[in-house]
Structure formats: C-alpha cells, structure tokens
Chain A
Amino acid sequence: MAKDLLTGYEPMTSVDAITAGLEGVGYISTRQISTAVYLANGLRKPILIEGPAGVGKTDLAASLSRWLDVPLLRLQCYEGLDEGKALYEWKYGKQLLYTQILKEKLNDVIGDAETLQASLGKLSSFEDLFFSEQFLESRPLLTAMKQEIGSILLIDEIDKSDEEFEAFLLEVLSDYQVTVPEIGTIRANVPPIVILTSNNVRELGDALKRRCLHLHIGFPDHARERRIVRARVDGIEEALLDQMISFVQAIRDVDIKKRPSIAETVDWAKTLLLLHATALDEAFVRDTLNVLLKHESDIAVIGPAVPKMLREAAAQKPGGRTSSGYPDLDG
C-alpha cells in the first residue's frame, strides 16, 4: 500500500512542501489547506471544499495544477448536468457521417456473400469500428482518468448538480475507473487529485461527504489576506494596504447580505492602485464601495458607517481574527 500511496505528484512530500510549493505559484495557503491537500494525495481521496464565494476554492485547484505541472480538468456543475456531459458521449454526428460515406462501400464489403446470414456476419465485424476511441467524445471525468501523469480534477459547485449526478459521481470517484461498455474499462494510471467545491446551495448527501475529506475555507485573517493581496497586486503601499485590509475585515463583521471576500479585496486593491490613492479617505471609499459590495442594500448599510469604520481601521493593529470561526493559523 505504501508504494501505492506515493504514485505520482512527487513534490508533495510534506505539508510544508505543499505550502511552499503553492506559495511559489502565488497561492497563499494555510496549514489547514495544505494538510488537506497532503491527505488527499496520501489517502487518495477527493477533497470537498466549502466556504463563502471568492475565498480561493477554485483557485486552489488551478494553483495545484500550475505547481505540479499537470493538466487541470474542470467540470462546472449545473442543474441537469448528466453523464453524457461529464463522462463521455459518442460522436453521433461523426458516426452518422461516416455511415453515409461508407454506404457506397457497402456493396464491396458484402458483395460476395451468398446468404443474408453471411452478409450480416461480415457487417458485424465492422461494427466495432464505429464504437472505438475514434468516435468517443471524452468529457472531463474520462479525460482525467486518461492522463498519464495524473491531473487535477476540479468539480466546481457540486451543490448545483442534481442528486442523481451526485450518486453517479460517487461511483466514479470510489475506484477511479470508468467503464465504457463498447470499449472496456479505462482505469486511471495515476489517479487525479479531485477537488469538489460547494457554496451550500443545497445540503450535500451524506454518502458523498463521507467519501471526501472535508475542508472549510473561511475568510482569511489580516496577515494572510495581506500576503494574498501582496502576491496579487504589485506596488501598493504598506500603510495603505494595512488600512484597507483592516477596513475590509471590519466590513465582514457587519451583518450584510454578501460579505466581501478575497476576490473583492484584490479588486479593490487594484482599484486603489489604478486611481493612485495614497490613503483611504471618506469620499474615496464611498465612491469605490461598489467594488467591495455587490448589493444595493449592503451599500446602504455600510455607506453611512464609513467614517467611523475608517477611524477604527486606522487605529486597529493587525490582529489574527477571522470571521469564519475557524482560525487560520498562518505564519
């Protein structure tokens, strides 16, 4: 088993190596995240990531693929997604086209057959031709199994798919193989690292949860968010950065519809840079609040409180506080 566990993905030797590797491609990880990735590789289990939108769930998959230099295969889930879109499909059109073209050849093939039985026999030897790899449209799940060097398989927003699809997925993910009746079983040489993400649109089935490692990524604390913005946005002033992150963190404590996540902070930082801001002042923040907040009602709540929050943000020392309830202990 021990040997089995270590096939592929050599760089993942330890939790620290993962943290360092991810940082190398611009993803600031936490110990929790790295541990989950390490276990996913070690136990060969999918990771189910939950958490608010825009905290880097999807980005983790992309960064892993960049770091390990393996392909990223993405399956975006939606209501009504079925096996045909996820696994494989026969290229009906191509098959049809080929039959049309080959029609004329038909006589040559069965020309010398005397009886109906004989011609049927001859035809059936060609049947397999139409159900071969050539006519197989491979969708993300099958493609992931076929990768020689392994891959990162991202199944995004699994909570948006139907329950039937969830059940079907269980089957594929439990033994990393796919059976195409006409061709045979395709087994992954190096099993993909599977990452499922969920925004909790609906409660996922127990069976799926049981088979996955569970990782919750919450909003980052001050220090981590600072490092993330630093990694993403070049040339922003230290003092300004501290101030804006304190401000964003303060907004997250307010009870609003959609709390700004890392993606919004990064966008805001870019906005500040673009507008050559040197310090956060009231008017400026109010003008750019729509970058952080995506609901009219949220802006109405936060808008009047801006001066007070700014004062507090300026006074506040960067502290290790997370609003998710899961302290992201980070260097």
Chain B
Amino acid sequence: MERPLTNFIRALRSSDVRVSTGEALDAARTLKLIGYADRSMLKDSLACVLAKSPDEKITFDELFELYFSRSDMPPQNREETEEQEQSGGTSESPDLVDLMESGDEAAISLALERAAEAAGTDDIRFSTQVAYYAQQMVKQMGGESLQARLLEALQRGGQDGDSEAQRLIDIRRELTMRARERAEKAFDVFGAGETQQFRDDYAADKKLSALDRSDMERIKRLVAKIAKRLAIKHSRRRKKRNRGQLDVRRTMRANAGVDGVPFNVVWRQKRKDKPKIVVICDVSGSVAQYVRFLLLLLWSMKDVVPDLHAFAFSFRLGSVDEVLEQNDFETAMAKILREYGMGSTSYGQAWSDLKIHHEQLIDRRTTLLVLGDARSNYGDPRVDLFREFASRAKRVIWLNPEGPPLWGTGDSVIPRYKPFCAQVTHVATLKDLERAVDEILSAYN
C-alpha cells in the first residue's frame, strides 16, 4: 500500500479513530479509484471509508488538513525522486548551503522530507522529542559539514571569515527552524493523540483523592468517554428468549393461516428489568471528591438509566435529583456540598431519613448504591434499617473509598453493614468506578 496512506491511517489510529485492516484496504482501493488529483474529493472519499461516527469525522477533518497540507508535493513527484535516488545510488546530496541560498522552496522541502524520513521523525510520540528530531534532521541534511565550515570560517577570522561565518550561522538557524517546524507538525499528526492517550491512561489509574484542579478537565472528558462506553454496552435491548416455554396463544395466532398446524413456533419472551439505581452519597469532607466523580458518571448515563435517584447526606439526608437536573454539574455539586456537606456524619440518621421519606423508592428492581466510608462518629449505625432496605432492594452495593485494611478500625462500621451487601468494593480510581458501574448494570442483563 502507498506510504502516505499508511502513515495517515497510523495518525488516525493514534488519535482514537478506529481503522480496521479491512477499512485500510478499502481506503487503498478508494485511492486507486479517485487518485490524489482532486484534494477535496480525496477528503470526502476517505471520510466515507475511514471515519464512521460524528466524533471520528471531526478528528478526521483535523488530521486530514494537517497531514495532507504537509506533503504539498504530489506523491507521484515524490516517487519519481525516489526512483532517481535509487538509480543514482547514494549520490551526493546538493550542497546544503547552496540549497538553502537557492531559495528553491520545492527542493528545500523535498530535502527536509527526505531527512525527516531518514531520521524517523514520524515516530515521534512526545512533544519533548521535537528538539531531538529536529537535530537529527539537520544532521541528516549535512549539518556536520556545515558546522565544520563554520568553525573553519571562524578560525580563519578577518572580515572575510566573519561575514562567511555570519552567513553560515544564519543558514543554520533557518535550517534548524524549519526542521523544528517539520518535527512539530509530525508531533501534531502522530504524537499528540498518543500523548493524550497516555495521559488519559495515567489519570484513570490515579487516586481520585489525589487529583488536582489541572486534571479536572481531563477527568471530565474521561468520564464522558467511560459513560459512552458503558452506555453502548448496556443499551442493548432487554429481551431474552425463554426457549422451552411455548407461547400457545401467539403460536396459534401466527399459524392461523396454515390451519393451525404449528409451523412457526413462538416462544415466551421475558422482558428484562430496566435498571433502577438509588445512590446514596456520604458527602462529608473525606468522601466528597469521590461523590463528585460517581455522580458525574452516573448522571452522564441518564439515557441508559432513566430511573436514577441520588441522595446526599452527612447528617440529614435529602434528595439531590432536582439540584442536579436544574444546574450544570459544577454548580450543582457546589450547592450539594454546601447544603449537605457540613454536618457531622451520622449513618444512623441518614437511614432513618431515608426510611421515613423515601422508602417507597426502593423496590425489588432497585440497586441500592452506597458511597461512603461508613465512619459514623460512634453513633448508632441503625443496622436494623439497613437490613430492611437490603431485603427490599434487588441488591445493595457499597463503594468504599477506604481500603480493606482500614475497614473496622476506629469508628468505621462497615463490617456491620457488610453482611447485607451483595458487594463491598474499594474504589480508589476512575477505573474502579467504571468497573463498579459496569457491574451494577450487568446485573440487569
């Protein structure tokens, strides 16, 4: 396959556009059909073949502009020069100084491209490598001999030598600048996506409590991505064929046309429960950060889980559905923390509030999700109420930001709640949260 295309596909892949081998082959066939001649047609065609969702189309557009602006030279031309190169063996490259002074843009950029290829500039991954690759490119273009000439001129001294040296210095600066530009472009095309990916992976594994403000935007983007991923996975139709149980009524109706002889057998189908989640969040200082991300994730999945209710407490417990619905997420979160985050934590009080005001929300298809460290300031944990909820609900899942070694130490009462939970999970990172939510939704499939 042609190199410009394979490189372009590599760039797409590094920016999170999934291109399968089959699609790459399609792209090659498209090229054969369309050719490089008409740039806008090339763009439309490749967009058809390679980018298959609105998000991917946007990334595609950006990369196409970047990538195909770089090789201003039509590829046919390039092949020709390659041939020349091969036939002439490793012939002398034209003198660097002459080349730069000739002002022949085409020749200069061709030489740059060649140097970039030799230096492997397109393998760039991080922005910190730009300088390195630029240097390698200069070297490939004969930077060393330039350096030698410069030294020689300086040694020679005198007016003649000085002006010669100045000329060479200018050329070197110009050359380095161009090489840098080329390397930066390579980074935009090939490296930026991967760097992003790398940082994302890093952030997803970082402790949520250790995230600082600068990570916030990234985390938000990540949460959106996770929500989308989970939504796709869990938005499948909730229907299951119950083979083995004949639906007599529908079978008879389906076969009325053939005299009631059961050619088409209809089996009973069972509709699956839609997920219903009641999430109860301890918003006292130690847990608040986790609540933020859990709620953000759950709220981004409203489409999949329309039946979602959130409560917050530290002392008194209250519903926060309305606040979340009416404000954008950050404002809502600030309001919630202001309203509920100040009390001294009492799980017992929270359970009795839940029992009195909202008990009817918990039914047999509800997953009760509790996020908290179960540190109740030595108050009565009201295990009796918790047990009652657990028997009403489908399942109870407890997400604890504290690690298992700390469970039961000091005022932590998690061991007393644990027998009634289907699961008590330690959540520290975004990945843990994703896994927990995935697990909850899977129970409905």
User: Which positions in A face B, CB cutoff 8 Å?
Assistant: 5, 15, 31-32, 35-36, 39, 42-43, 45, 47-48, 79, 92-93, 96, 162-163, 202-203, 206, 209-216, 325-326, 329
Question: A39-B48, A43-B26, A96-B258 provided; 12 other pairs, C-beta below 8 A?
Answer: A31-B40, A31-B44, A35-B44, A42-B29, A42-B30, A42-B33, A43-B30, A93-B257, A202-B235, A202-B236, A211-B22, A329-B40
**B41:A15 contact, CB within 8 angstroms:** yes
For A35, the chain B residues whose CB sits under 8 A away are 41, 44-45, 48
Chain B min CB distance to A45 (Å):
7
Interface centre among B51, B57, B258 (most CB of A within 10 A): B258
- B49 contacts the other chain (CB 8 A): yes
Name the residue on A nearest B263 (C-beta). A92
A39 B30 Cβ-Cβ under 8 A = yes
Question: What chain A residues lie within 8 Å of B13 (beta carbons)?
Answer: none
Q: Name the residue of chain B whose CB is nearest to the CB of A42.
A: B33
- The proximity string for B residues 212-239 relative to A, scoring 1 for CB distances below 8 Å and 0 otherwise, is 0000000000000000000110011100
Give the docked Cα–Cα distance between A211 and B51 (Å). Answer: 12
Ranked nearest first, the 7 interchain pairs of A and B with the lowest CB-CB distance are A214-B52, A35-B44, A213-B48, A209-B52, A42-B33, A92-B258, A203-B232
Q: Report if A210-B20 is in contact (Cβ < 8 Å); known contacts: A35-B44, A39-B49.
A: yes
Contact status A96-B26, CB under 8 Å: no
B54 part of interface (Cβ distance < 8 Å): yes
Closest approach, in angstroms, between the C-beta of A146 and any C-beta of chain B? 24
A5 CA to B23 CA, complexed, in Å: 18
Q: Mark B172-189, 1 if CB is under 8 A from A, else 0.
A: 000000000000000000
Minimum distance in angstroms from A251 CB to a CB of chain B: 21
Residue among A35, A162, A206, A209 having the largest count of chain B Cβ atoms under 10 Å? A35
Least CB distance from B22 to A in Å reads 6
Chain A, residue nearest B44 (CB): A35
**Interface membership of B261, Cβ < 8 A:** yes
For A35, the closest partner residue in chain B by CB is: B44
Complex contacts, A43 vs chain B, CB 8 Å: 26, 29-30, 33, 49
Closest to B27 in A: A43
Proximity string of chain B (37-61) to chain A, C-beta cutoff 8 Å, 1 when within and 0 when not? 0001100110111011110011000
* CB-based nearest B residue for A162: B237
Chain A residues lying within 8 Å of B45, measured Cβ to Cβ, are 35, 39
Chain A residues, Cβ within 8 Å of B58: 325
B160 within 8 A of A: no
- B63 CB to closest chain A CB (Å) equals 16
Q: List 29 A-B contacts (CB under 8 A).
A: A5-B33, A31-B40, A31-B41, A31-B44, A32-B44, A32-B48, A35-B44, A39-B34, A39-B48, A39-B49, A43-B26, A43-B30, A43-B33, A45-B26, A93-B258, A96-B258, A163-B236, A163-B237, A202-B235, A206-B18, A209-B52, A210-B52, A213-B49, A214-B48, A214-B49, A214-B51, A214-B53, A216-B57, A326-B57
Asked if B41 contacts A39 (CB within 8 A), the reply is no
Cα–Cα, bound, A36→B45 (Å): 7
Per-residue A-contact encoding for B236-254, CB less than 8 Å = 1, 0 else: 1100000000000000000
- When distances are taken between beta carbons in the complex, the residues of chain B under 8 Å from A32 are 44, 47-48
Looking at A79, A203, A215, A325, the one whose CB has the most chain B CB atoms below 10 A away is: A203
Is B259 at the interface (CB under 8 A from chain A)?
yes
Q: How far is the CB of A215 from chain B (nearest CB, A)?
A: 6
Q: Once bound together, how far apart are the Cα atoms of A265 and B29, in whole Å?
A: 39
Given contacts A206-B18, A214-B48, A325-B58, contact A79 B237 (CB under 8 A): yes
